[in-house]
Structure 1
Amino acid sequence: MSVSPAPTRHPWLAVGALLLLVAVLGLLRRPPVAHVSDDEAGGRAILLALAQSAEREHRLLAPAGSNAYEFYLSVLGLEPDDAATREALQRLFPAATKVVEQTIDHGELDEAERELRLLRDFDADNYLLALLAGKLAAQRHLEVRRHEARAAILQARARRAVQPAR
């Protein structure tokens, strides 16, 4: 007596299992996809929101630690090839250079130097930044001369006060 195999009750289960196996094998052959962690994606979203808020409030370069340029540069730190962030920085660049120039004109030279560094972090070879650096250096030179002149006046007054009256 020969034993014949039992008839399959659910032929669609075998077909489904075969399709599942093909799908799994197809996934295994794909190259790994660069995955951005949820923390990085969340951090990027937060930084972009902060940058856009700072931009709306016209905080392009100041205050330190809470301005659009620093937030956008932080996004580039997470994703160096982020075209939208690079475009935003490029769009803000002309207004930001005006901010640096105004800061120099107001005599806030240390702040202007910090702001200029931010712009250089984005576009170190821009000729406008070279011009602004020259203006900043000239203002620093003038400031040194003013301090020297003030010191000379104070020394002359001090000498006169010490000399006996004639």
Structure 2
Amino acid sequence: MVATLALLGGLSACTPQQAPPAQDAAPAAAATPATAPPPAVVETDGERLRLRADAALQAQRLVAPAGDNAVEYYLALRERGHEEAAVAAALQELQPYVLIAAERALAEADLSEAQRLLDLLARTDAQAPALPRLREQLQGAHQAQAARVAQLQAEGERQALQRAQAEARAAAARTAAAAPTAAAPVAAPPVVAAAAPPQAPPPSAEPVAPPPSAPVARAPAPARPLPRLLNDSPPRYPLSAFNRRIEGSVRIAFTIQPDGSVSAPTLVSSTPPGVFDEAALAAVSRWRFEAGGERVSTVRTLTFRLPKG
């Protein structure tokens, strides 16, 4: 349990928990067009990179903003060959948070942020099982967005044509009203015909509604068995909850993909709220089930209990 609690803080245990000097702080991510690449970590000093990674973890800047988050600092440490074992362990723990953020960006149609997070996931683990599925979803979202833009353009052109036609008809009507009219002939006096006695309307046959058919009873569909869980990765106990001796549980809904991977983990409820949510979502994202060839949606509860003694 102690090793699990200290996994993300493995680097921070070697140095004091303090933020780097103001002149060394990473610049905040500036607003850039969707086509511009995100800011990259350019620091090369391992000590400063470790301090910035620790500060990002303490501030819960796990995957954002771009250029100033824990994942990118740990990637910079790994790419520069600093403390390989501790950095690899930290990136393994942070990978589910990248996956969750990417799925959330896709669900909110923030395609530029989704692309940044997928690139970050590929840098963290190029063989991540969820990468092909997420890339396919991103490509589909781009295609849907392009189709929507084309539809809006066509709709705008159609409305412009309708307005032009309406204006042409109105102009023709004004021209016809302004033209001189010929003298109208004198109308003959109307002939008044004798009123015929009223007749009763023929009786109409009242349609008879057919009797309602009895509903056909349908047998309930058999419950679909859940695939067998192959990799039950335990959740990381949040350090703040461990220090305060807090216990609780989180109920998570998720979908098991045909290949056995987990997608779209969603928080259903938690006790106490907001304490174990992120750790539970990250743990569920790491689960792997037996490949069943079809998607299955389910709900599970993760319980957080302190060790006895």
Query: TM-score scaled to structure 1, two decimals?
Result: 0.69
Q: Which moved more, 1:155-164 or 1:86-95?
A: 155-164
* CA distance, structure 2, for counterparts of residue 81 and residue 54 of structure 1: 18
Equivalent position of 2:169 in the other structure: 165
1:44-63 → structure 2 map (5 Å cutoff)? 44-63=46-65
Query: 2:36 maps to which residue?
Result: none
Q: Distance in 2 between matches of 1:121 and 1:80?
A: 16
Q: How many residues in Structure 1 have an aligned counterpart in Structure 2? A: 125
Mind listing any 5+ residue stretches in structure 1 that lack a counterpart? 1-41
User: Deviation of residue 124 (structure 1)?
Assistant: 0.9
Q: Distance in 1 between matches of 2:118 and 2:53?
A: 18
Call closer, same or farther: CA 1:80–1:43 in 2, change over 3 Å: closer
CA distance in 2, matches of 1:149, 1:81: 53
Secondary structure class of the residue paired with 1:165? helix
Cα pair 2:63 2:72 within 8 Å, conserved: yes
What residue in structure 2 maps to residue 143 of structure 1? 145
Backbone CA RMSD of aligned residues? 1.8
Q: Name the one with the larger strand percent.
A: 2
Identity among equivalent positions (%) equals 30
Name the CA distance, whole Å, in 2 between partners of 1:94 and 1:157: 47
Runs of 4 or more, structure 1, over 4 Å off, are none
1:68 and 2:70 are equivalent in the alignment: yes
Please, which runs of 5 or more residues in structure 2 have no aligned partner? 1-43, 171-309
CA contact (8 A) 2:50 2:77 kept: yes
The answer (yes or no) to whether the contact 1:100–1:112 under 8 Å persists in 2 is yes
- Aligned match of 2:109 in 96, 107, 110? 107
TM-score normalised by structure 2 residue count? 0.38
**How far has the Cα of 1:81 moved from its partner?**
6.6
Q: CA deviation at 1:142?
A: 1.4
Higher helix share: 1
Q: Does 1:86 align with 2:81?
A: no
1:53 & 1:80 partners in 2: Cα distance? Answer: 17
